Amino acid sequence: MLGSGPANESAGAAHKLWWLLALAAVAFAVLKPVAPDWLIRPPDWLVWPFADWINAVFSFMRDDLGLMHVTRAFADSVQWLLDVTANLLYGKRRWPRLEDPIPWTVIAATAFMVGYALRGWALGILSGGTFVWVALLGQWKWTMETLSVIIVAAPISVLFGLVLGVLAWRSRRFETVLNPLLNLTQSLPHFAYMIPVVVFIGVGPKAGAIVTIIFAMPPMIRMSLLGLKKVPPEIIESGQMCGATRWQLLRYARIPSARGDILVGVNQVIMQSLAMVVLASFIGMPGLGQKLLQLLQALKMGRSVEIGITIVLLAVVLDRCSKAWAERQPEHFEKGTPWHQRNKLLLVWGVLVIGLWTLAEFWPLAQEIKRTQAFTISKQLDVILDGFIRFVDPVTLAIRAFLIRDVLIPMRDAYLWLPFTAVLAFVAAVGWRIGGRRSALTVSAFVLFIAMSGWWDRAMITAYMVSFAVLLAALVGLPLGIWAAGNERRAKIGLLICDTAQTFPSFIYLIPVVMLFGVNDVAAIGAVVVFAMVPLARYTIEGLRGVPETLIEAADMSGANKRQTLWKVRLPMALPTMMVGINQSIMFSLFMVIIAAFIGTQDLGQEMQRALSSTDVGKGLVLGMCVAFMGLAADHLAMRWAADKRRALGID
């Protein structure tokens, strides 16, 4: 006890400084009417020309260093690969110059065999049935345009990500440099990746492929690094005792042992690739995303729903197949087993391919179903949707009017009213309260950059939309998660729904809200709420399920009822895990707000789309960093709080 004096004094000083920062925030807000302008909005001397500097660097790299030639050479290589896949999948007349593309029946049968080989009949029927749906609805070419890019981009992302992951594992210094870059890149919105690519590459499929490669690479790097770090030392010692070289250890011991984590990285790469390829329609990428964009702009909801169903089915199939591959263990046969016994499914697939390809030669419908021959449900959907919209229109109009007039506009005005110094002091106070001086400096630096960027007001509009959307998502998602965690059956169904919903590209969430609310801020926030609700519900279920049974039994033995056990035991123990869900919800909301600028907002996303239209790299990257720093500030605070809470609960 005698030695606790200095520590108590230090804690007291820290507590006092936290209060001083909080009081400063209140003072800056209260004294706004009499405060000088430089305390209300960032003065001119504080706004630095980051965009001009970035543009100068890019111009130097492009023109003086000749990076344009390197990027164009790489783009030409990617274009050659795209020509190959495009010719094979939908008949683009380039090398290899096939008379006809692969018949849709062959691709559907191949998808069925892949699903069946990985996880049996259910996945096989889902995989094959998805491509049958695509063909019957006349969406074959658009789907193949999308897949032709994913088939090229995903393997390149996997290869580059694996190489960088190995380099980070080999060199601690390289890992130290790479980690903050990965944090930043995984916090940047999708559009921030597109602008530099358009400058160096142009628009079209190859630009879409290259931006997809860059966007999908970070999760592969992280999972490769994580997997290599988790390899048991006993495996390495065994290899060393056998005289294996460092390369042999890596090739035959470390990478096979890290197979599970590496394949999880492959799954994430595939899903990120689909998400970006759909959004790359903004830079001239043909396919499902471009068609959906056109239909949404024309408010053709029946056709939009058809395309949306296809994108959802494609996302589910790619996710389920890649996850099944990650979970499936290699099959080993006894030495001397005949080849045909080891490759039964391959032989069956070969027979199917030959039979269906031959059938396509004599029956044109087995080769291609043209748009004029395709089945469509868009008219029926339009009738149903029109009837539903007319039925709910009085309610949605009332909700829209109430939210815009009584909630959104006052909330936006309140955020814009706040002096930037008050926001800066408040954020520093929260950082100090949660993580001390280091956290206060970190989050203050993030907010200060936004002030110095010159986009303060747009950032505040983004902040108000995200905070309101996360609040609504929490009011719905947290109770749903608590209810679902009440028994094992509901929990499994809830997790299945959440896992499935997280596979959907974010663009899909715009369809129902545009249908209900039209093109306005309410629709944008509605899309954000639905998108952000998923991680909140998922991590609430996982957190409550992860509470040790011994603690629940102890509460029961002490006479606590279910409500008391929930509030006094289960929720406090689950809070650190739930905080991960809140953190992900904020990040998802930031991404979705930027995408939702497509349907009309006045935040950073709208400016980012303008930067994309004018190919202004500096402006686009500065806006992207503003979004990323908002997310990184929230991530730092949430993760620091969760880590401290885990330690306090003894579950670190």
Residues 6 or more apart in contact with residue 144 via CB below 8 angstroms: 86, 89, 90, 101
Q: Residue 98 has what pLDDT?
A: 63
Q: What tokens were used for 335?
A: 């030495």
Mean pLDDT of 311-335: 83
pTM as predicted: 0.86
Rounded to whole angstroms, the Cα distance separating 285 from 169 reads 35
Above 90 in pLDDT, residue 519? no
> Per the domain annotation, does 441 fall within a domain?
no
Banded pLDDT at 592 (limits 50, 70, 90): confident
> Per the domain annotation, does 648 fall within a domain?
yes
Q: What is the pLDDT of residues 130-144, one digit of tens each?
A: 999 999 888 888 899
The answer to whether 615 touches 198, Cβ cutoff 8 Å, is yes
Q: What tokens were used for 186?
A: 């995984």
**Where in the sequence is the domain holding 568, given as residue range(s)?**
390-417+455-652
Q: Residue 526 has what pLDDT?
A: 85
* Of 8-17, 420-429, 498-507, highest mean pLDDT: 420-429
| Greatest distance between any 2 Cα atoms in the chain | 94
Above 70 in pLDDT, residue 97? no
Residues 6 or more apart in contact with residue 317 via CB below 8 angstroms: 111, 115, 126, 127, 130
Banded pLDDT at 100 (limits 50, 70, 90): confident
- At residue 623's C-alpha, the angle toward residues 617 and 624, to 5°, is 85
> Per the domain annotation, does 86 fall within a domain?
no
> Per the domain annotation, does 268 fall within a domain?
no
Banded pLDDT at 4 (limits 50, 70, 90): very low
| Least confident span in 24-33, 70-79, 329-338 | 329-338
Q: Which residue has better confidence, 192 or 213?
A: 213
Q: What tokens were used for 444?
A: 């203050």
Banded pLDDT at 604 (limits 50, 70, 90): confident
Q: What tokens were used for 540?
A: 């609430």
Above 50 in pLDDT, residue 2? no
3-class secondary structure, 203: coil
| Least confident span in 30-39, 166-175, 334-343 | 334-343
Q: Residue 480 has what pLDDT?
A: 92
The CATH number assigned to the domain holding 645 equals 1.10.3720.10
Q: Residue 460 has what pLDDT?
A: 93
Residues 6 or more apart in contact with residue 648 via CB below 8 angstroms: none
Length of the chain measured in residues: 652
Q: What is the pLDDT of residues 546-575, one digit of tens each?
A: 888 888 878 778 777 788 888 888 888 888
Q: Which residue has better confidence, 649 or 612?
A: 612
> Per the domain annotation, does 495 fall within a domain?
yes
The average confidence (pLDDT) of the chain is 85
CA 338 to chain centroid, in Å, comes to 45
Question: How many structural domains compose the chain?
Answer: 1
Banded pLDDT at 651 (limits 50, 70, 90): low
> Per the domain annotation, does 584 fall within a domain?
yes
Mean pLDDT of 621-637: 91
Above 70 in pLDDT, residue 7? no
Q: Residue 425 has what pLDDT?
A: 93
- At residue 30's C-alpha, the angle toward residues 29 and 34, to 5°, is 100
Rounded to whole angstroms, the Cα distance separating 38 from 295 reads 46
Above 70 in pLDDT, residue 542? yes
Mean pLDDT of 244-255: 80
The dihedral built from the CA positions of residue 203, 209, 211 and 212, taken in this order, carries a sign that is positive
| Least confident span in 119-123, 174-178, 262-266, 389-393 | 389-393
Q: Which residue matches tokens 């990040």? A: 587
Banded pLDDT at 607 (limits 50, 70, 90): confident
Mean pLDDT of 254-262: 85
Above 50 in pLDDT, residue 1? no
Q: Residue 93 has what pLDDT?
A: 61
Banded pLDDT at 447 (limits 50, 70, 90): very high
Rounded to whole angstroms, the Cα distance separating 538 from 304 reads 28
The answer to whether 586 touches 634, Cβ cutoff 8 Å, is yes
Q: What is the pLDDT of residues 34-83, one digit of tens each?
A: 888 888 899 989 999 998 999 898 888 877 777 777 888 888 888 888 88
- At residue 434's C-alpha, the angle toward residues 454 and 652, to 5°, is 125
> Per the domain annotation, does 28 fall within a domain?
no
DSSP string over 530-585: HHHHHHHHHHHHHHHHTS-HHHHHHHHHTT--HHHHIIIIIHHHHHHHHHHHHHHH
Rounded to whole angstroms, the Cα distance separating 191 from 279 reads 9
Mean pLDDT of 468-488: 90
Above 60 in pLDDT, residue 10? no
Neighbours of 331 (CB within 10 A): 6
Banded pLDDT at 3 (limits 50, 70, 90): very low
CA 370 to chain centroid, in Å, comes to 34
Q: Residue 6 has what pLDDT?
A: 46
> Per the domain annotation, does 525 fall within a domain?
yes
Q: Residue 296 has what pLDDT?
A: 78
